[in-house]
Structure 1
Amino acid sequence: MPMTHRRIIIIGTGPAGYTAAIYASRANLQPLVLEGVQPGGQLTITTEVENFPGFRNGIQGPELMEELRAQAQRLGTEIASETVLSVELGQRPFRLVTESGAYTCDALVIATGASAKWLGIGKDEDLGRKGGGVSACATCDGFFYRGKDVAVVGGGDTALEEALYLTNFASRVHLVHRREGFRASKAMQDRALAHPKITVHWNQVVADLRTRRFEASPGNEVEKLGSLLLRDIRDGRESSLAVDGLFVAIGHRPNTAFLQGQLPVDANGYLLVEKGSSRTVIPGVFACGDVQDSVYRQAITAAGSGCMAAIDAERWLAETSTSIPKETTHV
């Protein structure tokens, strides 16, 4: 199997991976980025991004990722369109296996992100990718629903936090939960149940999404969410709920399967890092972005943690003065 050695390898792109690459390049570490199956991460399926600093008129998610990618490449980052299948972190240097070969590295940055859990009813993920009225992030997209009716699906702290946040914009927030009671903390439940803008639909599941088509511009027809088909889990009775937006808040799944349990995670599967840093329990392995952040999950916080990871890695490499084998050619 062909082998290439690098001083530092970054797995994953998105704001965290690209920012780590930018800082590593400027530190003259000549980073290699293995971009995986979704180059650019979740922002490539986001339409308008209005909360990333520096773009006063907003920017499209894919365009923002392309700008970060080009910036990293201009500074010397090499990007390979490969997906890491497995890693071996119990040896030095670390070994990574992809579908076409293998790599070794002295320092490793994991920036593989997390994927939203969708309802699995067909159109929800598709509409989420196309900006059709479905989202997995109220902080990202709530602003677009000012004065409109929206729904949130879920019953944990995240769902109630999303619902409360959306009351800053929406005229009505419908909270759809499949059980009789919430799993959220008592304090969060009290706030949500007392809020005049929130209506709770107990024992209900979203059975289907009803959409409408309209012409956004001459010759450009788009599909948008129009209503939800709700089903009562007790008697199967169905009802229609007209909303302009649906926020799926049933959790995220950190993209860590390729690690095969070699690094510790929290109760929800997020990689654990040393407080105030990007360092994992294995010296030389760093984590940044949504793969280790279950709280904020924003592009700007991911970028900030990518900066931390690159600086932590550069300092660790300098302190350990690792001997670098001669680089071989990857074919």
Structure 2
Amino acid sequence: MRVVCVITEGFQHLDLAGPADVFATAGLVSRRAAYTLEVTSVVAGPVRASNGLATLVETPIDEVTGPIDTLLVAGGPTVDDHLRDPRLVAGVRRLAAGARRTGSVCTGAFLLAEAGLLDGGRATTHWLSAGDLARRYPAVETDPDAIYVRHGDVWTSAGVTAGIDLALAMVADDHGHRVARDVARGLVVYLHRPGGQSQFSAPIQAVPRSEPLKELQTWIDEHPEEDLSVPALARRMNLSERHFSRVFTDETGMPPGRYVEIARTGAARRLLETTDEPLDVVARRTGLGLSGSLYRVFRRHLRVSPGDYRRRFRDKEH
């Protein structure tokens, strides 16, 4: 199964290396899961990534011929510099037309959008760039939260390491979840997160400037079963409820109630991954109360049920 990866000067190295190692490892764990890997760009020769490492391109994009199973476009911090390159955009469009499926990692979605390959479909990209993608390409339904999105034969993923999730999902689609699981274990990575799982987490979204708020966040994360209502947290900070809510929201970008819910969801995820506790016990231990509340927050933040999450991510060795 031929995988052709498109890179540009200044690309994110892990956008290429992560998926490439997933596909290569698949052939090692299962002889029937063999992929061949090629790298192309506008011109042949060394193409330097944003981290300074160079990748040798042997065949320029204009000269890539023959059937392609998977076309994968890498992103990177310099993708904007390449969107107006007609050879690159035309090359991506041509290769996609002859590929069984097309995918992008991170801001590689911008090149797919520029080539018209995302029009009328749903896509994702790095959460920092999702708003820009939505504004510049209104014909694309941008999901700023998903780890990866599959719309027909076009796949897009969130930033950087989400390319590994994307490639694992492709391997699972090609050869089954057992092979994808063995690849994940071989690479010592988290096993195949579902595409709908949120790419956000409380630490990513909410980093306050003040030390007292950082200490409060740590305490919330470590004590999800405590009373974490606004009145209780305001008392802990020796602030009025109104002032506390305003300061917390200003410094973290989210109201305290949302942060608490995300923190409790994270605590519940860890219990589901590492224990056999019943769902009602998990809900109680993480301050979510009843199993129905646990179900609702998982559907809201992760787009899977707690039971499905446990089946996917339970550490079999615990």
- TM beyond 0.5: no
More strand by share: 1
More helix by share: 2
TM range (shorter): under 0.3
